[in-house]
Every structure is written in structure tokens, then in C-alpha cells.
Amino acid sequence: MTDPPAPDVARFLDSAERRLKELSIETQQADWIYTTYITPDTEALSAKAYSRLITSTVELAKQSTRLPVENASPEDRRKLKLLRLSLPIIAPSEPAEGEELTRRVATMQGTYAKGRYTLVGSNEPLDLQGLSRVLQESRDPARLEDAWAGWHHVGRAIRPDFERYVELANRGARELGFADTGAMWRSKYDMEPDAFAAEVDRLWADVRPLYEALHAYVRRRLVEFYGPERVDPRGPIPAHLLGNMWAQSWEGIFPLLAPPGSDPGYDLTKILVERGSVPTDLVRFAERFFVSLGLEPLPSTFWERSMFVRPRDREVVCHASAWDVDLDHDLRIKMCIEITEEDFRTVHHELGHNYYQRAYSAQPYLFRDSAHDGFHEAVGDTISLSVTPEYLVRVGLLRAAPPASGDIGLLLQRALEKVAFLPFGIAVDRWRWEVFSGAVPPSEYNRTWWAIRRRYQGIAPPGDRGDEEFDPGAKFHVPANTPYMRYFLAHILQFQFHRALAREIDAEGPLHRASIYGSATAGRRLREMLAMGQSHEWPDALETITGTRTMEADGLLEYFRPLREWLDEQNRHAPSGW
């Protein structure tokens, strides 16, 4: 018979969870208003609410270290650990410094959201979405470089706040016993910080050969299009030529890379536009997918309170996100939806967050999160992997699935999104880990940023980017204080989840053609894992859905096996590496 929980610990946690839930709801409400209606006043209110949440969390985390935990239950011990790790930023105990930290983060986000640039020869300032369209659609190197450099200029204004933010965030993390903020972030994965870094390296080693094969093929085709004077046949690829502002995904240049005969047989963007689709139509498709798995429809408040389009009368943060405002049933998404295949998939992803949030809403407050943050990102993408031609037929968007002869094109397009992302998913936080640890001083921020991106991604900036620039600030997650390693892990886990669920329904054919749409069996397995929230360590949750307790890249490698064989054939006489 086990000892009863220590009363002091149980009472402390009961009080702490009630207090933090109340402050969390207040913060979510204030932040929703700020990100959907950016003004100096809403920025200030959001910062103050976030400051109260951070201050209370830090106070409670420090109090928890003085509790007698010898007889505490395993559940309460886990809650105490999670309490210390519940925020991605810890304010110093000095009140003025705590308020300054949250104000600086809010200011960085506002500066990012308000970024605009007017292209050479134009009179119209473009926001990030407009400049990103230039990178996707133009093939003029000068115009591409202008759009790329124009957006990256936003980092200069963010840099002073970022330098002070690093100093203050580290001070708060150290007060809780962490070496720095980066070490605190790595401690969230139920292992020691150094062990987690080694786990990331292990996974990257498994997938790097596939990435290098893709990189070699893309570089060769770009050399053919732009010439060796603009693209070094043996060197890194210029970042502005890859169709994405951060070169984190390359599907925007698929028309330049598509092999002969790789027409997938349909254009989902064209189909959606010709149907007269509106943004909420895309959300309805995604909702119906989850309902087909046996999950409940979204609440009416979701449709009443979400932001689906960019308002014409005010500044907003368009970066797609899913919200659980009251930690119960007030689910929302915030997006500036466009009628494209990319946003069709993104909506499926965001609803994955919402359905995860709903599934663990019955858990105690400190367990209302995913097993680790990579799980949250992976769930929606797992659903997106089931957006196959066969799925599109079943929901009435296609008359018939195209033949498998076009699968290399489909796989290449998917790899330009998923495989191309993998090293970027590591690079963002590798850079921040070094910044937080002090290994990289402010004078070397930009130089180190590009050194890391060259090492992992094999890309380089257009032209010289001196240390007066702050190119990391041009990526939303850096000024927003959002850890990024979750996205790398999600790109591994989504394929691991997809393969496990496809096997659950005995899907026939190659993994990239499998869809779990309409499978109550797969839905039950998924729902069981979602409902666990953060109540167990992540290997327990992983085992629930996959049957294994370690993150593995086998699912990703199996999914792209036909493409890897094709790439190796294409690259027989092409140089690899950079």
C-alpha cells in the first residue's frame, strides 16, 4: 500500500492550479484581443496580463521547491516538475524587470506584425504575405533578392529588444535553477538537457542523407535555371531562390523542379477557387475529417469567435495559430486564410491543436498540454498526411484519384515541404541555445545565424549580411519567444504516427497513399493518446499510439522511399554536400 499524498503538496497544487488557470484565461483573452487588434493599448494590456501570469508562475515554482515531497504521489511530483517548466519564459523576481521582459516580448511581436517593405519600382508597401508571394511567384533574381532583403530588414528594429530579452529571460531561468533559458527549454522533454540535444542529433543523423539527396537535386535544377554564376554547383543554395522567406520549405519552386510526367493530375488550389470556396469552407472540410474519426463537431462559439480572414480595418498577427481561450471549450483559430492547397492543409493542422486541446480538457490544469510540444504540432500534420488523392475523392473534391505514375511528383512536392524543413527546424533553436548560453555574444548574432544555417541547411544569404543586421528577427518565433524544436520533432513524429495508424486500419499500398479518413479504429487510438495530455511522460503517450517508446525516423524514411530511390538515380553524376 502506497503512502498517501503529502497534504501540504496536495493543498499547494490545488490552490496553484486554480490560480494559474484563472490567470491563464485572462492572459489568453488579452492576447487574443492584442493579436487580432494591434494597438498600443492592446499591446500594453496583453503585456500586463502575461506579466501577471509569469510572475505568479515563478512565485509558485519557487514556493514548490520548499515543499516536503518525500511522500508526495507520483502524479503530484510530476505536477511540481511541470509547474517549473510551464512557461517558455521566466521573469526575474524583481518586479520592474519582470514587467520589462513581458513588455519587450510584446513590442517585438508588434514590430514584426507591422513590418512592411516597398519593392524597388513600386509605390505599394507589402506585408509579409505579399512579399512571400513575390518569392513564390517571381523568377527574377533581383526582384527576389529585393523582397527577401526588404522583409529581413525588420530584424534591425527588433534587435535591441531581443538583446535585453535574452539577459532578462536568462536571469529568470537561473532563479529557478536552470543554467539558462535554452537549458530550461530542453528540460521539458522528460530527460536531461544534454540528453535531449543528443536525441535531436540522433534523429538528424538518420534523416540527413535523404535531405542531402533532395538538396543535391534542387541545387542542380537551380543551376540549370539560373546559371552557375548565381548558384554554385558545389556550394550552398542562395536562400532567396527557394520560394520561401526563410528557405524553410521549397514547394513554392516546385514548377522549376518537377520531373517530366510528374503532373499529379489535379490542382487543389484551382479546384477550390473554381468551386467558389470561402475561408470557412476550408475549415468545414477539416472539421469533417476529425468528425469522421469519431470526434465531436466543433462548438458553435468556434465559428463565432475565430478569425478566418485578415480584417481590412486594423493590424493583426496573421501567423496561423489555434487557441483554447478558457481551457475548456472556447476553441478558436486565428488565420488569414487564402483559398490555396497550402492553407487547406494548414487548417487541418490548426484543428489538430484544437482537438488535442479539447481531448485533454478533463485533465487537471498542469496536465492540460501535449505529451511534449512536438506531439501538439504532429497531430494536425498527421491528419494532413491523410489528405491524399483518395481522400479528395471521398470528400467530393476529385472525381477520381490520378494514377500512381504521378506519385514521384506528389512525393517531391511533399518532400519540398517536409524534408526541406528538417534542418531549419533544428537551426533556429541551435542558434538560440548558443545565444542563451552566452557562447554567441550580440556582436556575432548574425554571423553565427548564417554559419549554423549553412552547416545544417546548406543555404547562404544573398550578398553580405553583416552583424548590423539581425536576420533571426525576421522569423516570427524568435521575437515571439516560441521554442522551435517542437517543429523538428513534429516532422519526425507525424510520419511515425501516420505509419502506426495506417497499420491499425490495414491500409494497403504505399504509405504515402494511405488515409485514415473515416476510420473509427484509428480515431479511437488517436483519441486515447490525446486524452492523456501531459499526465504521463511522452514515451507512455508515444507507446499508446505507435506501440514503441522511442522517437524514430523510420516512418518518414518509408514514406519517402520511392522518392529517395528516384533522387539517387537523378543524382548519379551530381555533386552532393556543400
Cα angle value 249/250/253 (rounded, 5°): 155
pLDDT at residue 132, rounded to an integer: 96
Active site residues: 350, 477
Give residue 313's pLDDT band: very low, low, confident or very high (50, 70, 90).
Answer: confident
- The residue to which cell 540522433 is assigned: 202
Average pLDDT over residues 374-388: 92
Q: Residue 7 pLDDT more than 60?
A: no
Lowest mean pLDDT, pick from 57-66, 450-459, 461-470, 513-522: 57-66
Residue 152 vs residue 506, higher pLDDT: 152
Among residues 289, 364, 321, the alpha carbon closest in space to that of 532 is found at 364
pLDDT tens readout for residues 128-149: 999 999 999 999 999 999 999 9
Query: What phi-psi label fits residue 577: left (phi over 0), alpha (psi between -120 and 50 degrees) or beta?
Result: left
pLDDT at residue 90, rounded to an integer: 87
- Which residues fall within 8 angstroms of residue 70, CB to CB, at 6 or more apart? 6
Three-class HEC string of 249-308: CCHHHHHHHCCCCCCCCCCHHHHHHHCCCCHHHHHHHHHHHHHHCCCCCCCHHHHHHCEC
Among residues 65, 47, 61, 53, the alpha carbon closest in space to that of 20 is found at 53
**From CA 233, how far away is CA 219, in angstroms rounded?**
7
Average pLDDT over residues 524-528: 95
Among residues 406, 401, 411, 403, the alpha carbon closest in space to that of 561 is found at 411
**From CA 407, how far away is CA 565, in angstroms rounded?**
13
The structural domains of the chain, with segments of one domain joined by +, span 7-193, 268-419+485-570
Q: Please tell me the chain's helix, strand, coil percentages from 3-state DSSP, rounded to the nearest 5.
A: 65, 5, 35
Average pLDDT over residues 325-344: 93
Q: Residue 1 pLDDT more than 50?
A: no
Residue type, 155: G
Give residue 264's pLDDT band: very low, low, confident or very high (50, 70, 90).
Answer: confident
**From CA 450, how far away is CA 466, in angstroms rounded?**
10
Three-class HEC string of 421-486: HHHHHHHHHHHHHHHHHCCCCHHHHHHHHHHHHHHHHCEECCCCCCCCCCHHHHCCCCCCCCCCHH
- The residue to which cell 522549376 is assigned: 256
pLDDT tens readout for residues 548-559: 999 999 999 999
pLDDT tens readout for residues 222-252: 999 999 999 999 999 999 999 999 999 999 9
Residues forming a β-bridge with 237: 459
Give residue 17's pLDDT band: very low, low, confident or very high (50, 70, 90).
Answer: very high
The CA distances from residue 49 to 28, 82, 314, 322, in Å, are 9, 21, 22, 19
C-alpha cell at 101: 521582459
Average per-residue pLDDT for the chain = 94
Residue 493 vs residue 316, higher pLDDT: 493
Q: Residue 4 pLDDT more than 60?
A: no
Among residues 236, 117, 157, 241, the alpha carbon closest in space to that of 470 is found at 157
Q: Are 549 and 542 in contact (CB under 8 A)?
A: yes
pLDDT tens readout for residues 194-233: 999 999 999 999 999 999 999 999 999 999 999 999 999 9
pLDDT tens readout for residues 75-128: 999 999 999 998 898 889 898 998 899 899 999 999 998 999 999 999 999 999
C-alpha cell at 394: 471521398
C-alpha cell at 475: 522569423
Range list of H helices, 37-73: 40-64
Q: Are 556 and 488 in contact (CB under 8 A)?
A: no
**From CA 500, how far away is CA 496, in angstroms rounded?**
6
pLDDT at residue 265, rounded to an integer: 77
Average pLDDT over residues 334-342: 94
Average pLDDT over residues 535-557: 97
Give residue 58's pLDDT band: very low, low, confident or very high (50, 70, 90).
Answer: confident
The CA distances from residue 59 to 66, 92, 209, 387, 572, in Å, are 12, 10, 47, 45, 60
